[in-house]
A and B are shown apart, each in its own frame.
Chain A
Amino acid sequence: MAKIKKKVKTIKVDADKCNGCQSCEIICSTFHATPKYSSINPARSRIQVIRDPMRDVWLPVFAGEYVEAECMGRQTFVIDGKEYSECDFCRAACPARDRFTEPDSGLPLRCDMCEENGPGQEPLCVQWCFNEVLKFEEREVEVEEDVRLGDLEIGLKSLLDKHGLQKLVDTMTRITQKS
């Protein structure tokens, strides 16, 4: 694959500043609702605040790639005296847990940096975080060209992985015939 120059967008997280209000989850879920702003459901948010208040853990994590299978990572990390599992930091929509999957369909979610809003706009979660926990960063890097999947493709791919092509085609046929 060819190397290309590409703008990489990311959200830097300063977890020490997080007050656990979940505003990022709320605005994310409502921005991505269809139609836009028609509903709210933090469980659909592509950013989730991992919370364990009594341990002083508030950790916003935004959704990354969808993965087919659970990984082997079981390491723990101690940062500032607080223990985190490898899973805590992981941004994957993974079959081993509920995080970053649609609560009704189980389809994976992925952060799209609210690109729909147009260039120069920060993702909504960053805009809504008054305590400056989330910081938007854009930098140019040289990467191998890849094809970025849209929401529907990610969803379909996860269904393919889970059920196989034949079952998926059969079901699609059945549903279309019914309607």
Chain B
Amino acid sequence: MRYAETGYNLEIDLATGNIERVETDPKLTELYLGGLGTSVKMMWDRVPPETKAFDPENLLIFSSGLLVGTPAFSFNRSVVTTISPQTDLLAYPMMGGFWAAQLKYAGYDKVVFRNKSPKLVYIWIHNDKVEIRDASHLKGKGTVETREIIKKELNKPHAAVAAIGLAGENRVFTASIEQGRSSASRLGGGAVMGDKNIKAIAVLGSKDLFLARGEEFMEHVNKAAEYIKFRNTNPLPGIPTILAGIGSPQEMKHTDEKWHTENFVWGNARTRRRGFWTEEINESWSTTQKSAVKRLISCFNCPQQCGALVSYKDTPRYKMKCFSKLTYSMAAYVDDLDFNFRIARLATEYGVDAFSTPQILAFAVELYEAGILTDKDFEGCPSDKEGRFFWLLDRFVRREGIGDILADGTYWAARKIGKGAEEFDHNTIKKHEQVPVKLGTLDPLYYLMYSTNEKISITQIEGNWPQGAFPTREMREQFVKDWPQLPDERFKQYVLDWEPRGEKSIPYFPTPDMCSEIVDWMEMVHNIDDALGLCAGMGSFCLKPPYHIHNYPLLVSAATGIDMDEEGLKKTVNRSRNLHRAFNVVRGMRRVDEKPPEDHWKRRFPELEEQLMDTYYKYKGWNNDGIPTKERLLELDLGFVAEDLERRGILQDGQD
């Protein structure tokens, strides 16, 4: 008997059409939990470093998380793992919605795809019945369109459908996988899905999912539920609206966007527009938003309402959440939210990442204005800002003309275009577009998170730790007073001592040692969320969330029957974290790759930055090149990884 998980994966060979229901080893749950944890292990075991994103041997794994489908609120994430076409490293775009829960009720924890289908297909998973179905009639269709057609032809209105659009079909490196109001977008999961010729995966289940100690589990769930209610009625004082609550940033509900529009940068991650949020803008943008948002909607078993059904003027309906409300307007320098609601609909149907894509289009516009791209590249393109973006997006998802080059993302496009275009690629880390933020003084915490996290995108790496020092002692005291989420009391002192200016301020405070501890804490909670399938908005990505290191182990133990205390859980995710790092190290990632964009901060401190990296690597038990030491690997029962690294000459015996 398996608890919380189903104990079965679906293995689908797309070349032969062979489908198998495979029982998983319960030992793996103890060692890696589930979700990202067990998927990384599978990638390590089965995808060698020579395998490229578009090789048939690349796996595309759709996974639920260990607690998805249980009554605990907000555990609903699907984690997709594959090799990224953009970075050649492990990508793990995630999405909320309903898909993962349905997969569990259908009787599976993961769906593992290998090889490629000879023609476009979609997959239909309905309990024990699993079919590979022809999708030739869906070729070129949008993601929303595809979902509606599939539900109709299956006559299953409640099926959850994850689909790609034109971008995925055309292997655009920023292609997303769209599902409900959610989207697995980062690092090209949609491109791999398209390469494998999978248009969509529909799933519906009606099987039981079991809890080991149900009554006990419900006690912990009810406590978390009380805290959710408390936080929903008590936003944190002295914190910008968008960060004061829980859930993903409530951008469909709140209209006040002063924080994003003035702190994030516009265009190709270029201009910070302080003073943008005037009364006039506030009024116009709020009116537009209110007329567009038809209803606020949730993901599976989550009381928050981070998403929305958008019904805007004559644009066909679609769903939206979070920062995608602003990214296109900001990248195109369009001071009107109307544009964003119109183009986002098209982008959702095409299925593209709403962070990377607008930046890539803005990058093209900059190159054109700088004369690096010419009228020939832009032949037929309208001259107004909005028209230009619509035109570029269309070329981009179809890989037509200049769109074909841009479709590989900023980094690769810049190198292909040459003529100084590389200078305009100024917001990528490890070849991947980052959130558009450019600031003054180096922030040591963000320096480390940007540089070293395996997620490669800063979004949702940070979270539990305040983004900046509080201006007054009183505010600091108030903030630390009620902070049950802390893994250790000493962090309170760090907040109390942290000042906006002077000796105890960034970049020298928190000190490199403190920074290592804080970043390690952020990573730990993110890794737990990604293994358990919790939305980061209710755990690692917000201040004072309902789930934290003191209640995760209680939930895991009661749900699975695997008794795990805080230390045990920390060790488990540390194991996955190190395996994940080793996977990328074997694929060539080194310290030299671990750095934020040059212009991310105006004031840089090269010596301090080196010191930060040295300290953090040491804290993690990695050598000076960011490679886990044999000692650390053995501690985490990863002897097989140490052996592999030694065999490849990456780790040398007797030296770290």
Contacts and interface: CB of A to CB of B under 8 A. Distances in A.
Contact of A39 (B98, B208, B295): B208
A19 B298 contact: yes
Contacts of B105: 41-43
B116 to A, nearest CB: 31
A23 B73 contact: yes
A7 interface: no
A26 B214 contact: no
Nearest to A42: B105
A39 B228 contact: no
Interface string B555-583: 00000000000000000000000000000
B70 to A, nearest CB: 6
A126 to B, nearest CB: 14
B297 A20 contact: yes
B218 A40 contact: no
A140 to B, nearest CB: 31
Interface string A127-146: 01011000000000000000
B171 interface: no
B298 A21 contact: yes
B309 A40 contact: no
B402 to A, nearest CB: 34
B301 A26 contact: yes
Contacts of A20: 297-298
A69 B345 CA distance: 44
Interface in B200-233: 205-211, 214-215, 217-218, 225, 228-229, 232
B103 to A, nearest CB: 13
Contact of A56 (B157, B205, B309): B309
Given A37-B214, A37-B215, A19 B70 contact: no
Contact of A53 (B225, B296, B305, B309): B309
Q: Which of B69, B215, B295 has the most CB of A within 10 A?
A: B295
Contacts of A26: 71, 301
B539 interface: no
B228 to A, nearest CB: 7
A30 B295 contact: no
B21 interface: no
A47 B295 CA distance: 22
A83 to B, nearest CB: 14
Nearest to A23: B301
B294 interface: yes
B71 to A, nearest CB: 5
Contacts of A166: none
Contacts of B305: 19, 131
Given A21-B300, A40-B69, A130 B229 contact: yes
Interface in A111-135: 128, 130-131
B299 interface: yes
Contacts of A58: 295, 297
A36 interface: yes
B460 to A, nearest CB: 21
Contact of A43 (B73, B206, B296, B298): B206
Interface string A11-43: 000000001111100110010010111111111
Interface in B313-361: 317, 319
B303 A53 contact: no
Given A33-B214, A43-B105, A54 B144 contact: yes
A41 to B, nearest CB: 5
B162 interface: no
B302 interface: yes
A52 interface: yes
B297 A30 contact: no
Interface in B384-433: none
B444 interface: no
A53 B297 contact: yes
Contact of A41 (B209, B215, B229): B209
A6 interface: no
A20 B295 CA distance: 10
B301 A53 contact: no
A39 B206 CA distance: 12
B311 interface: yes
| Contact-size category for A | 20 to 34
B144 A103 contact: no
Contact of B71 (A19, A27, A44, A103): A27
Interface string B70-97: 1101000000000000000000000000
Given A37-B218, A38-B214, A40-B71, A103 B300 contact: no
A56 B294 contact: yes
A162 interface: no
A128 to B, nearest CB: 8
B311 A22 contact: no
A143 to B, nearest CB: 35
Given A51-B157, A130-B229, A56 B295 contact: yes
A22 B214 contact: no
Contacts of A43: 105, 205-206
Contacts of A130: 228-229, 232, 303
A54 B71 contact: no
Contacts of A30: 71, 211, 214, 218
Contacts of B73: 23
B317 A54 contact: yes
A130 B303 CA distance: 6
Q: Which of B205, B294, B303, B311 has the most CB of A within 10 A?
A: B303
Contacts of B144: 54
Q: Which of A51, A54, A58 has the most CB of B within 10 A?
A: A54
Nearest to B98: A22
A55 to B, nearest CB: 9
Contact of B180 (A33, A44, A53): A53
A133 to B, nearest CB: 11
Contacts of A23: 73, 301-303
B644 interface: no
B550 interface: no
Interface string B125-164: 0000000000000000000100010000000011000000
Contacts of A103: 206-207
A52 B157 contact: yes
Given A54-B144, A54-B317, A130-B303, A39 B296 contact: no
A39 B299 contact: no
Given A19-B305, A23-B301, A42-B105, A37 B157 contact: no
Interface of A: 19-23, 26-27, 30, 33, 35-44, 51-54, 56, 58, 103, 128, 130-131
20 contacts: A19-B297, A20-B298, A21-B300, A21-B302, A23-B302, A26-B71, A30-B211, A30-B218, A33-B208, A33-B214, A36-B215, A37-B214, A37-B215, A40-B209, A41-B206, A41-B208, A43-B105, A58-B295, A103-B207, A130-B303
10 shortest interchain CB distances as A-B pairs: A37-B214, A43-B206, A130-B303, A21-B298, A103-B206, A19-B298, A39-B208, A41-B208, A38-B214, A39-B210
Given A21-B302, A41-B209, 8 more contacts: A20-B298, A22-B300, A23-B302, A27-B71, A44-B208, A52-B157, A103-B206, A130-B229
